[in-house]
Amino acid sequence: MLDVVLPVLVLGALALALLGALRRIGLWRQGRPSPVSVLGGLAAMPRRYLVDLHDVVARDKVFANTHVATGGGFVAAAVLLILVHGFQLESRVLSWALIAASVVMFAGALRVAARRRNPPVRLSRGPWMRLPKSLFAFASGVFLVTLPTAGVVPASFGGWALAGVLTLVVAWGIAEMFLGMTWGGPMKHAFAGALHLAFHRRPERFGGGRSTGLKPLDLGNPEAPLGVGKPADFTWNQLLGFDACVQCGRCEAMCPAFAAGQPLNPKKLIQDMVVGMAGGTDAAYAGSPYPGKPVGEHGGDAHSAIVLRGGHEGGRALVDAETLWSCTTCRACVEECPMMIEHVDAIVDMRRHLTMEHGNTPNKGREVLENLATTDNPGGFDPASRMNWAADLDLPLMSARGSADVLLWMGDGAFDMRNQRTLRALVKILRAAKVDFAVLGNEELDSGDVARRLGDEATFQALAARNAATLAKYRFREIVTCDPHSFHVLKNEYGAFGASYTVSHHSTFISSLMEKGRLALGEWTGGRVTYHDPCYLGRYNGEYEAPRKALKGIGIKVVDMERSGFRSRCCGGGGGAPITDIPGKRRIPDMRMEEINATKADVVAVGCPQCTAMLEGVVGPRPEVLDIAELVAAQLVAAPAAAQRAKKDVAEEVAA
Partner 1 sequence: MNDIIRRDPRTEWIARNRLHPEHDAVLARMGGSTPAAKWMGPNGIIRRNPHAVGFIGPNGVRRIDRSGAQTANAGASARREAAAAPTRRQIRIETPAFYVAVVADMPGGRLSAHDRDVLGLARQLADEDSAGQGAVLLVSFGESREDALGDAGVDRVVSFAGERFEGYAPEQRLTALGGVERQHEPRHWLFPDSSLGGAELGRRLAARLGERPATQVWQIANGECTGRGAAGATDVTRRLPRIVLALPECAEPVSESTHAAESIAPPAALPQALRRIEDLGAVAVDPSSVALAEAEFILSAGNGIRDWGGFHRAASVLGATEGASRVAVDNGFMPRHRQVGATGTWVTARVYLAVGISGAIQHLQGIQQCDKVIAINTDPGCDMVKRADLAVIADSSEVLAALVELVDGVKKEQRNAA
Partner 2 sequence: MQRDGNRNVTGQERVKVAALVSVGRHPVTGRPRRAEYDARAVEIGLSLATGGNLHLAHAGECSPESEAALRAYLGMGIAGVDVLQQPAGADIVPALEAWLRELGPRLVLCGARGETGEASGLVPFLLAERLGWSLVCGLAAVESVDGDSMIVLQALPRGQRRRLKVRLPAVVTVDAAAQPARQSAFGPARRGGLQRLDTPVTPDGDAQSWTTAPARKRPKRLKIVKATSARDRFKAAAAKAEGGGGQVLTGVSAQAGAEAILKLLREEGVLR
Ligand X SMILES: Cc1cc2nc3c(=O)[nH]c(=O)nc-3n(C[C@H](O)[C@H](O)[C@H](O)COP(=O)(O)OP(=O)(O)OC[C@H]3O[C@@H](n4cnc5c(N)ncnc54)[C@H](O)[C@@H]3O)c2cc1C
587 near partner 1, judged by CB under 8 A: yes
Tell me how far apart the alpha carbons of residues 64 and 248 are, in angstroms, rounded to a whole number: 13
578 near ligand X, judged by CB under 6 A: yes
DSSP string, 453-513: HTT-HHHHHHHHHHHHHHHHTSEEEEEEES-HHHHHIIIIISGGGT----EEEHHHHHHHH
Binding partner of residue 613 among ligand X, ligand SF4, partner 2, none, CB under 5 to 8 Å per kind? ligand X
Residue at shortest CB range from ligand X: 617
356 near partner 2, judged by CB under 8 A: yes
Position among 188, 293, 331, 587 found at the interface with ligand SF4 (CB under 6 A): 331
Binding partner of residue 328 among ligand SF4, ligand X, partner 2, none, CB under 5 to 8 Å per kind? ligand SF4
Residue 265 backbone zone (phi > 0: left; psi -120 to 50: alpha; other: beta):
beta
Tell me how far apart the alpha carbons of residues 20 and 622 are, in angstroms, rounded to a whole number: 57
Tell me how far apart the alpha carbons of residues 313 and 315 are, in angstroms, rounded to a whole number: 6
Please state the closest distance from residue 580 (CB atom) to partner 1, in A: 9
Give 38's contacts (C-beta < 8 A, 6+ positions apart). Answer: 198, 199
Cβ-based neighbour number of residue 304 at 10 Å = 16
- Residues 287, 247 contacting (CB under 8 angstroms): yes
List the end-to-end C-alpha distance of the chain, in Å, as a whole number.
85
Position among 583, 602, 642, 649 found at the interface with partner 1 (CB under 8 A): 583
255 near ligand SF4, judged by CB under 6 A: yes
382 near partner 2, judged by CB under 8 A: yes
Question: What are the two backbone dihedrals, phi and then psi, of residue 298, each rounded to the nearest 5 degrees?
Answer: -115, 150
Position among 44, 98, 175, 257 found at the interface with ligand SF4 (CB under 6 A): 257
226 near partner 2, judged by CB under 8 A: yes
Q: Which stretch binds partner 1 (CB under 8 A): 416-424, 450-458, 495-503, 560-568?
A: 416-424
Cα dist from 230 to 30, 280, 295, whole Å: 11, 14, 20
247 near ligand SF4, judged by CB under 6 A: yes
Q: Which stretch binds partner 1 (CB under 8 A): 80-88, 290-298, 502-510, 578-586?
A: 578-586
Tell me how far apart the alpha carbons of residues 372 and 613 are, in angstroms, rounded to a whole number: 20
610-639 residues in contact with ligand X (CB under 6 A) are 613-614, 617, 619
DSSP string, 49-81: IIIIIHHHHTTSHHHHHHHIIIIIHHHHHHHHH
581 near partner 1, judged by CB under 8 A: yes
- Contacts with ligand SF4 by CB under 6 A: the residue count is 29
- Residues 497, 464 contacting (CB under 8 angstroms): yes
Q: Which stretch binds ligand SF4 (CB under 6 A): 6-14, 335-343, 501-509, 630-638?
A: 335-343
- Residues 56, 338 contacting (CB under 8 angstroms): yes
359-378 residues in contact with partner 2 (CB under 8 A) are 359-361, 365-366, 369-370, 373-375
Bridge partners of residue 479, in order along the sequence: 407, 503
| Planar angle of CA 382, 386, 391, nearest 5 degrees | 120
For residue 119, say if its preceding peptide bond is cis, omega within 30 degrees of 0. Answer: no
417 near partner 1, judged by CB under 8 A: yes
State the DSSP code for 216. P
Nearer to ligand X, 383 or 617 (CB): 617
Contacts with partner 2, 397-426, as mask; x by CB under 8 A: ------------------------------
Selection from 267, 290, 247, 336 nearest residue 563 by Cα:
336
Binding partner of residue 344 among ligand SF4, partner 2, ligand X, none, CB under 5 to 8 Å per kind? ligand SF4
Please state the closest distance from residue 420 (CB atom) to partner 2, in A: 20
Nearer to ligand X, 7 or 617 (CB): 617
Nearer to partner 1, 560 or 590 (CB): 590
Q: Note the residues at the interface with ligand SF4 (CB under 6 A).
A: 245-251, 254-257, 264, 266-267, 270, 327-333, 336-339, 341, 343-344
Q: Note the residues at the interface with partner 2 (CB under 8 A).
A: 219, 222, 226, 355-361, 365-366, 369-370, 373-375, 380-383, 456-458
Q: Note the residues at the interface with ligand X (CB under 6 A).
A: 578, 613-614, 617, 619
